[in-house]
A and B are shown apart, each in its own frame.
Chain A
Amino acid sequence: MLRIRRDLVDRIVEHARADHPDEACGVIAGPEGSDRPERFIPMVNAARSPTFYEFDSGDLFGLYKDMAARDEDPIVIYHSHTATEAYPSRTDIALASEPGAHYVLISTRETGNTEGPYELRSYRIVDGEVTEEEIEIFDLQNLGS
């Protein structure tokens, strides 16, 4: 199961809407081994494409260097689908290389750049096998209770 703060979900949605019709992508990092997504890091889709995303190679290096310096893992790796459902494509499955991460997909096909309902789902992708998982979204004011 993915437990994630509502404000982080909101930022994924905002990013996906802003970049529609191109795919948006990014990471939410968190303390190593914690499974807690905390630091939102929107990435540039170097492919600038409605059907593909790829982190720029230099940005990728910087991201992993930063995470290593902060003792963080990529807890969530998110990207949008802009014309299809929020389910991993064959390419997503073939290229998934963080078995510990939650792969979050958001579909903006219904509403594009505008507000409205969206589809957001989370998966584990390990050795080519996709397992959907529940998402529990919690509000910040519940922290520390």
Chain B
Amino acid sequence: MATEVRVPTILREFTGGEKAVTAEGPTLQAIIANLDANYPGIGGRLIDSSGLRRFVNVYLNDEDVRFLDGLNTAVTDRDAITILPAVAGG
């Protein structure tokens, strides 16, 4: 039981260059913890002490998890998670 996680270019340094990896867990929070266990350091690029980082977008299928339950969003192995850094600046 594993969920596909699509990894953006900037984070592929953690995944050995892989564009997509799998992770296990019933919620996004658990998925990120599992990712970080397998690819140490990636978790800190996604979350900080206040939750999901402001300029990181995570999608469950095609929905931004901020419009779902954030880190508590339920995830199954039929879902796909996509991580995209915001394209933003000043």
Contact = CB atoms under 8 A, between A and B. Distances in A.
Nearest to B89: A92
A128 interface: no
B55 A61 contact: no
Nearest to B88: A54
A64 B84 contact: yes
A64 B58 CA distance: 13
Contact of B84 (A53, A61, A91): A61
B90 A77 contact: no
B89 A97 contact: no
A64 B66 CA distance: 18
A54 B64 contact: no
Q: Range of interface residues on chain B?
A: 10 to 19
B55 A60 contact: no
A40 interface: no
B7 to A, nearest CB: 12
Contacts of A99: 9-10
Contacts of A120: none
A57 B52 CA distance: 14
A60 B59 CA distance: 11
B84 A52 contact: no
B1 interface: no
B26 interface: no
A79 interface: yes
17 contacts: A47-B88, A51-B90, A52-B88, A52-B90, A53-B88, A55-B86, A55-B88, A57-B64, A60-B86, A61-B57, A61-B84, A64-B82, A91-B89, A92-B89, A95-B55, A98-B9, A98-B10
Given A64-B84, A95-B85, A99-B9, 20 more contacts: A47-B88, A51-B90, A52-B88, A52-B90, A53-B88, A54-B86, A54-B89, A55-B87, A61-B57, A65-B62, A88-B89, A90-B90, A91-B88, A91-B90, A96-B89, A97-B9, A97-B10, A97-B85, A98-B10, A98-B87
